Amino acid sequence: MKTKLNDEELIRQQFITNPNACFEELYSRYVRKVYKRCLSMTKDSEKAQDYTHDIFIRTFDQLSRFQEKSTFSTWLYSISFNYCLDQIKTTKRLPMSNLDGLETYQFADLYEQEPFEERLQLLNQTLQKLSPMEASLLRLKYQQGLSIQQIAQQLGLQESAVKMRLKRSRQKAHQLYLVASNR
């Protein structure tokens, strides 16, 4: 009868000689626990499944870095927790919206496309003429869709300062855009 190796022994003995078997064994031992960890953090079974898959891929890629300073399970749970936390933060920063339920779609007319591209180039030129802080504020607000409060936290400013800087940046960008478009 073959005795079951603990995680650390399994990694030491099989990771180099038979990495696939090592990974399969670790996966079978911990997949349910990692999934439960992901589910408890995301409250979404599909995301939890996706995250579990990603976590095991990441773990396998990093297995050679496991130094046994803690148990394998502790190390894996740490990777799981940090990965889920990063994904949750990213989702909050870059919200996704579902297009289902939209009844009509508007497509740009081919004749309108050229002026749009010209306006887009003018806008990019305008942003390049702004100071890095002004351009960054406008991008945070209008490209990333952050709230005044989120921008204030990210930049370490008061909300009133963010509002005033945004107002001034918008005004300056508008003036620069008008000058550039009248050429």
- Boundary residue ending a domain (33, 68, 93): 93
Q: Give a yes or no: residue 73 inside a domain.
A: yes
Same domain, 76 and 126: no
Cα 166 to Cα 90: distance, rounded to the nearest angstrom: 24
**SS3 for 106?**
coil
Give dist(CA 13, CA 6) in Å, integer: 11
State both tokens at 47. 């995301």
What token pair was written down for 156?
């370490």
Question: Any idea what the CATH number is for the domain that residue 120 is in?
Answer: 1.10.10.10
Residue 43, classed as helix, strand or coil, is coil
Q: Is residue 1 part of a domain?
A: no
- List Cα–Cα distances, 78 to 19, 40, 59, in angstroms: 22, 14, 11
> Are residues 177 and 118 part of one domain?
yes
Number of structural domains (the chain) is 2
Q: How do the pLDDT tens digits run along the chain, 183 residues long?
A: 556 788 888 888 777 788 888 888 889 999 999 999 999 888 889 999 999 999 998 888 888 788 878 888 888 888 888 898 888 888 777 655 555 555 454 544 444 455 667 777 777 788 888 888 888 888 888 777 888 888 888 888 898 988 999 899 889 888 888 887 776
Q: How many helices (H) and strands (E) does the chain have?
A: 8, 0
- At 1, list the tokens: 């009868």
Phi first, then psi: give them for residue 69, nearest 5 degrees.
-75, -20
Does residue 127 sit in the same domain as residue 85?
Answer: no
pTM for the full predicted model: 0.49
**Shared domain check, 117 and 89:** no
Give the Cα separation of 78 and 67 in Å (integer): 14
CA angle at 96 for the pair 91 and 100, rounded to the nearest 5°: 145
Residues of the domain holding 28: 7-93
Domain check: are 87 and 11 in the same one? yes
